[in-house]
Amino acid sequence: MSADAVFCSSTVDYRGKVPVEHLDYGYIEKCKDVKYMEKILKVLRSGDEGIYPHLTTFCESHLEKLHPRSPALRKDNEVATAASLSKDEWSQIVDELKTWQEETKKTETSLKQQRVFDDLPKENIPPIRGSNCSIALSETSNANEKRSSSTCPLPRDYREWDKFDVERECEKIDGNVVKNDPPAIVTKRNPEIKTKVEAALLTQQEKLFLANREKDKGNEAFRAKDYEEAVVYYSRSLSIIATVAAYNNRAQAEIKLHHWHKAMSDCQSVLQLQPGNVKALLRRATVHKHTDHFQLAVEDLRTVLREEPQNAAATKLLSETEKLMEHPPVQHRKGKKILIKEVEEEHNSEDNEEKEAEAFLVEPSQPVGGEESSAAPAERGDMGNAQKKPHGRGDGGPHGNEAGNPHAAGHWRGKGGSADKYKVTPDSKEKVANGTNKRGSTASVQADQSSGGKGTPDGGSARETIDLDAPCGALPPPLSRLKNEGNLLFKNGQFSDALEKYSQAIQGYTDSAIDSPEDLCVLYSNRAACYLKDGNSQDCIQDCTRALELQPFSLKPLLRRAMAYESLERYRKAYADYKTVLQIDVGVPAAHDSVNRITRLLIEQDGAEWREKLPEIPLVPLSAQQHRREEPPSAEALQARAEKAARDAERKAEVRFTASKQDGNEFVKKGQYQDAMAKYSDCLKLKPEECAIYTNRSAPGPCHFLSPLCSVTLYRGVGEQSPVIWFWD
Amino acid sequence: MSSPLSKPQIIAHIQKSLNYTIFDSKWIPCSAKFVSLGNFARGTGVMQIYEVQHGEAQLIKEVEKPKPIKCATFGATSLQQRHIATGDFDGNLNIWNLEVPEVPVYSVKAHKEIVNSIDGVGGLGIGDGAPEIVTGSRDGTVKLWDPRQRDSPVANMEPVEGETKRDCWTVAFGHAFNDQDRCVCAGYDNGDIKLFDLRNMSLRWETNIKNGVCCVEFDRKDINMNKLVATSLEGKFHVFDMRTQHPTKGFASVSEKAHKSTIWQVRHLPQNRDIFMTAGGAGNLHLWKYEYPAERSKKDSDDVDMGVAGSVNLLQNVTLSTQPIASLDWSPDKQGLCVCSGFDQTVRVLIVTKLNVV
């Protein structure tokens, strides 16, 4: 750029004439100076140096490349006429105009009719401005006016010069320097604009007109990024007539202002007025996303995509939300180390987190002993172990199996490189998963949905539940909420508060009689961590034991119990637990360290035959060792597996269903209604919601044997899906 | 913007040659009709009402008035009444009921000389507060009228005794976002632009753009003042960002030299305040869009807020005639429809397409 500038400025003089040698293809091609190019173009166009049409066009096109908006390129256009448009375009315009004319005619007549009643005095009009208020301007702005007359540069009276007082002018200039300027008048953001418009007295036409106008103002303010003002104007529009568009726009403005609550209520208003409004759904999804209600956001987005599969915004938002669902943002978690596995599951792939973890791992491991140091291994144990793998499982990818173990190991040993490598893998894996998920949702929402309608939820919807409930397993929302709150508190170091939350969750769990031992196990395990942190080793041991009763050989409770035992100096038991941990996963350095330490202590204490005094170390079954990651209470993995199984089952069921149905149809054709009946019943067992089967099953009935079962099923068939299909299909 | 087809097109829908000089033409709100005003060669004034129908402008009514009519506005009337306020060559301000246009419903000798410009606010749902009319005249005064008060103005802005009186060429209302605040901007033949604050009854700001100010207009009258466009005699126009007023530097502005001749008129699109059309002395129309800067205000070296001007983009330009286009009015109801009249004694109804996509 600078070189070009030099190239041009060294040779050109903007004031002077353009030398003839510059009117040359080569020169013009090389010239990068817009201003000079414009000058050249001017000369070329003027024809002073001769007329070169090609060179002129060349110059124009080159200038356009350099500066497409150059004023020199503006050409006078002839005004377009109907003929210069395509026929369709023009007829469209004419049609629009015609409808508008007709509409305005109607409006006008109704306005005229209403005039009869227009004698009502308008009360809200302010009084006449203080009449005869001797116009303040001539006084207040007296000085201003004077100054203006002396500053205005053009038509300056000669008389002024006679009156010119040099000293006073100088003083004025000096004075200006010292003069304290009043502060800038920034026209305030929303200065006293009423959010309501008095429109009670107006006619419907006027109201419409006004409402539209206020909305337009809102739109303009929105475009100028003046969101607060936009909100005010939308509110004004709404106070006249509540319209979908104004609500929708206000919601958008509120979103921009991060007023989630208000935006939400606006979206709801729209959806009340017009259920299924795509924009409102989209905006509500945005709000949900930002208020961390990912599931709701996803639901809304799927509804949108069902309506408009091509909606790019929805697709984008969906993929973002799904990503967030898997790895919620770090913001709440920053700066604190995480102890609890369940918390980590949510966001274990976040970069910050990774770095923290990495940094932590590089440090030499600390001896487990006192309360202080015992925290460290606990943390590691929690972080390194079971988290990543359930994820791999959840995505159904092979990654969990093959990468799980070495991953954990790498992580644990704190070898920067390998750990790093592994941190990348789950992330990319998830991206892939996301990708497929997304594709599934956009391209084949319908398919997805329709298949989802059959029996168990599958595909996207199933995954979505998993994703959201991932940290909470099968817990109902209030409980998972309690749990998440607990996790958060724990992370923030408020252990006793967290403890309370977990206790509540456990209580709620027992009350609601849910059958999900793995979740309860996690709750106990988490509570145990709190106890451990609080130094309440007894209760910690108790909780861990409970957790282990529910889920034998889960790593974390074991590790925690071991630490608790250790801090109570019950080394033998601690040793046993650590050993168990190591049987489950050899790659837990904390356990290794502790085992070594405790061994030394026990040898000191009990002498050479210390082993004999040890409690029995349970033999960890092979399944727990190999598929260790299945054993820990990873609700997610379990659910993923369940889902997979369900899908398999469904696929099989589908096959069997079709087969049975075909058999049934065959039998019907052969007249063997009894057999057909049996086949159809089989079908119904597989898919009770299939209407056609009911109809098929009952079809033979009316003709030949009218059994009560038949009529009932017919009725059900009708009730569930109104159009009765009377044909064999 | 890139392909010519995506640009807005200005289409001459209806052209009608008339037998008088047209000074102003205005859409009647909530209708497909417009009023055109001017003077007959014999020195009398004329007011005609046309209706746009089947691609033609049909004359509905014509009234002859004793004095040529220079300017008109619907700004201070209710939607139901739709009375037009006019200023004539003799300095009279009249308000007419278009149903019975023979006798004015309000009449006052407003100025000693021709009323160059008129504007109204408080009607048509545009701007809260009282309906008011402002007139600017060759006699150098700017007067504010309330149709409820006969005979005398409610405010008078004139130069102090002994000062040279400047021809006021244009006036415009703005800042009428509640029932107290209101501003009038006036442009003078010497390039002065003055902004009068009607709430405080004071001169709020003034500047000089070096050349006669032919037309000023706020992008919207009924909002916290946002932008002001002032056009000048030598073909330049200035866009002022009216949100931030620096104590010494005033309002930030961007100027553009577009026409090769005087810019007679500027009118903002009623449906989008950032789009405006300028009408030039060479019979051409330019359609512009204002682009806001990333930040509309910044701190200067003394930590005082100052405005930042944006930029203007030319969307389209056409040449309609060889004579100046003296008036231009967008339909308040139909986006893209506008009426303009020039000194070639022709009134034109134009359609501007694709305004909603720019």
Where residue A295 sits, what CATH number does that domain have? Answer: 1.25.40.10
> Does residue A542 share a domain with residue A608?
yes
Task: Look at residue A121 and tell me if it is in a domain.
Answer: no
The whole-number average pLDDT for the span B87-101 is 91
Neighbours of B314 (CB within 10 A): 17
**What is the total residue count of chain B?**
358
With cut-offs at 50, 70 and 90, classify the pLDDT of residue B267.
very high
Q: Among A621, A644, A664, give the residue marking a domain's end.
A: A621
Interface A–B counts its CB contacts (< 8 A) at 240
SS3 B169: strand
Contact A101 B152 (CB under 8 A): no
In 3-state terms chain B splits into helix, strand, coil percentages (rounded to 5) of: 0, 55, 45
Task: Look at residue A76 and tell me if it is in a domain.
Answer: no
Predicted pLDDT at B135: 93
> Does residue A585 share a domain with residue A539?
yes
User: CA A165 to CA B80: how far, in whole Å?
Assistant: 58
Task: Look at residue A630 and tell me if it is in a domain.
Answer: no
- Cβ distance A405 to A384 under 8 Å? no
Query: How far is Cα of residue B228 from the mean position of the Cα atoms in its chain?
Result: 11
Predicted pLDDT at A619: 75
Task: Look at residue B184 and tell me if it is in a domain.
Answer: yes
User: CA A301 to CA A313: how far, in whole Å?
Assistant: 9
Q: Which of residues 109-148 of B touch A (CB under 8 A)?
A: 122, 125-126, 128-132, 144, 146, 148
| Residue B288, Cβ density class (10 Å: 0-12 exposed, 13-18 middle, ≥19 buried) | buried
Q: Where are the alpha helices (DSSP H) in A115-203?
A: 136-140, 142-151, 158-162, 166-178
Residue of chain A whose alpha carbon sits nearest to that of B147: A128
CB burial of A398-429 (b: ≥16 within 10 Å; e: otherwise) equals: ebbeebbbebbbbbbebeeeebeebbebbbeb
Task: Look at residue B248 and tell me if it is in a domain.
Answer: yes
The whole-number average pLDDT for the span B139-168 is 86
Can you point out the beta strands (E) in A16-146?
A: none
> Does residue A661 share a domain with residue A610?
no
User: CA B132 to CA B106: how far, in whole Å?
Assistant: 13
Taking the CA of residue A60 and the nearest CA in chain B, the distance in Å comes to 16
> Does residue A615 share a domain with residue A678?
no
Q: Among A275, A295, A324, give the residue marking a domain's end.
A: A324
- Looking up tokens 């909470």 gives A472
Task: Look at residue B5 and tell me if it is in a domain.
Answer: no
Predicted pLDDT at A423: 40
- Indicate the pTM of the whole model: 0.57
- CB-CB: which of B154, B222, B292 is closest to A128? B154
Whether residue B1 lies within 8 A of chain A, CB to CB, comes out as no
Q: Which of residues 197-236 of B touch A (CB under 8 A)?
A: 198, 200-203, 206, 208, 210-211, 220, 222-226
Task: Look at residue B141 and tell me if it is in a domain.
Answer: yes
Task: Look at residue A542 and tell me if it is in a domain.
Answer: yes
Residue of chain A whose alpha carbon sits nearest to that of B351: A93
- Looking up tokens 């810019």 gives B263
Task: Look at residue A517 and tell me if it is in a domain.
Answer: yes
Count how many domains chain B has: 1
Taking the CA of residue B311 and the nearest CA in chain A, the distance in Å comes to 12
- CB-CB: which of A82, A126, A220 is closest to B11? A82
- In a mutagenesis test of the A interface, which of B161, B224, B304 is the best target, namely the one with the most A β-carbons within 10 Å? B224
Predicted pLDDT at A600: 82
User: CA A150 to CA A137: how far, in whole Å?
Assistant: 18
> Does residue A597 share a domain with residue A499?
yes
Q: Which of residues 26-45 of B touch A (CB under 8 A)?
A: 30-32
> Does residue A603 share a domain with residue A483?
yes
Residues of B in contact with A190 (CB under 8 A): 224
Residue of chain B whose alpha carbon sits nearest to that of A179: B248
Task: Look at residue B332 and tell me if it is in a domain.
Answer: yes
Taking the CA of residue A253 and the nearest CA in chain B, the distance in Å comes to 17
The tokens describing A81, both together, are 């006429």
Taking the CA of residue B44 and the nearest CA in chain A, the distance in Å comes to 31
Whether residue B7 lies within 8 A of chain A, CB to CB, comes out as no
- Looking up tokens 């030398």 gives A19
Task: Look at residue B1 and tell me if it is in a domain.
Answer: no
Give the neighbor-by-neighbor strand order of the sheet with B100-109: B69-73, B84-88, B92-97, B100-109
Neighbours of A119 (CB within 10 A): 6
Taking the CA of residue B257 and the nearest CA in chain A, the distance in Å comes to 9
Contact A221 B223 (CB under 8 A): yes
Contact A191 B177 (CB under 8 A): yes
Residue of chain B whose alpha carbon sits nearest to that of A132: B154
> Does residue A609 share a domain with residue A506?
yes
- CB-CB: which of B55, B192, B319 is closest to A76? B319
Taking the CA of residue A70 and the nearest CA in chain B, the distance in Å comes to 10
The tokens describing A423, both together, are 């941190």
More confident residue, B196 or A80: B196
Neighbours of A575 (CB within 10 A): 25
Residues of A in contact with B168 (CB under 8 A): none
Predicted pLDDT at A322: 79
User: CA B196 to CA B219: how far, in whole Å?
Assistant: 17
Predicted pLDDT at A400: 37
- Cβ distance A458 to A643 under 8 Å? yes
- Cβ distance B220 to B128 under 8 Å? no
Contact A220 B196 (CB under 8 A): no
- CB-CB: which of A140, A144, A224 is closest to B206? A144
Predicted pLDDT at B87: 93
Among residues A194, A186, A199, A237, the alpha carbon closest in space to that of A215 is found at A237
- Cβ distance A698 to A714 under 8 Å? yes
| Domain interval for residue A549 | 477-621
Phi, psi of B161 (to 5 degrees): -50, 135
CA distances from A208 to A185, A200, A211, A217, A500 (A): 35, 12, 5, 14, 56
> Does residue A256 share a domain with residue A314?
yes
CA distances from B28 to A159, A484, B86, B102, B277 (A): 48, 64, 13, 18, 19
Residues of A in contact with B178 (CB under 8 A): 191-194
Task: Look at residue A425 and tell me if it is in a domain.
Answer: no
> Does residue A592 share a domain with residue A494?
yes
| Residue A616, Cβ density class (10 Å: 0-12 exposed, 13-18 middle, ≥19 buried) | exposed
Task: Look at residue A136 and tell me if it is in a domain.
Answer: no
- CB-CB: which of A135, A183, A187 is closest to B157? A135
Task: Look at residue B4 and tell me if it is in a domain.
Answer: no
> Does residue A235 share a domain with residue A286?
yes
> Does residue A680 share a domain with residue A591?
no
Contact B79 A69 (CB under 8 A): no
User: CA B219 to CA B221: how far, in whole Å?
Assistant: 7
Contact A184 B79 (CB under 8 A): no
The whole-number average pLDDT for the span B107-129 is 85
Residues of A in contact with B292 (CB under 8 A): 224-225
| ipTM passes above 0.85 | no
Contact B30 A205 (CB under 8 A): yes
Residues of B in contact with A107 (CB under 8 A): 30-31
User: CA A244 to CA A229: how far, in whole Å?
Assistant: 19
| Domain interval for residue B93 | 19-353
- Cβ distance B35 to B46 under 8 Å? no
Count how many domains chain A has: 4
Chunk chain A into consecutive blocks of 10 residues (it has 729) and report each block's average pLDDT, rounded to whole numbers: 43 65 81 80 80 83 78 73 80 88 85 60 66 42 37 45 55 44 49 66 75 84 84 86 85 86 85 82 84 81 82 81 70 42 39 38 38 39 39 39 39 40 40 41 39 39 38 66 80 80 80 75 83 82 84 82 84 84 79 82 79 75 56 57 72 75 72 70 64 51 38 38 35
Task: Look at residue A229 and tell me if it is in a domain.
Answer: yes
Residues of A in contact with B306 (CB under 8 A): 184
Task: Look at residue B255 and tell me if it is in a domain.
Answer: yes
Phi, psi of B24 (to 5 degrees): -150, 150
- Cβ distance B290 to B227 under 8 Å? yes
What CATH number is attached to the domain comprising B214?
A: 2.130.10.10
The whole-number average pLDDT for the span B105-112 is 92
With cut-offs at 50, 70 and 90, classify the pLDDT of residue B136.
very high
Whether residue B105 lies within 8 A of chain A, CB to CB, comes out as no
> Does residue A606 share a domain with residue A514?
yes
Whether residue B244 lies within 8 A of chain A, CB to CB, comes out as yes
Look at A86-100, A106-120, B195-209, B246-260 and tell me which has the smallest mean pLDDT: A106-120
Predicted pLDDT at A159: 54
Task: Please give the mean pLDDT across all residues of chain B.
Answer: 88
Neighbours of A61 (CB within 10 A): 11
A675-683: long-range contacts (C-beta < 8 A, 24 or more apart)? Answer: A676/A700, A682/A656, A683/A657
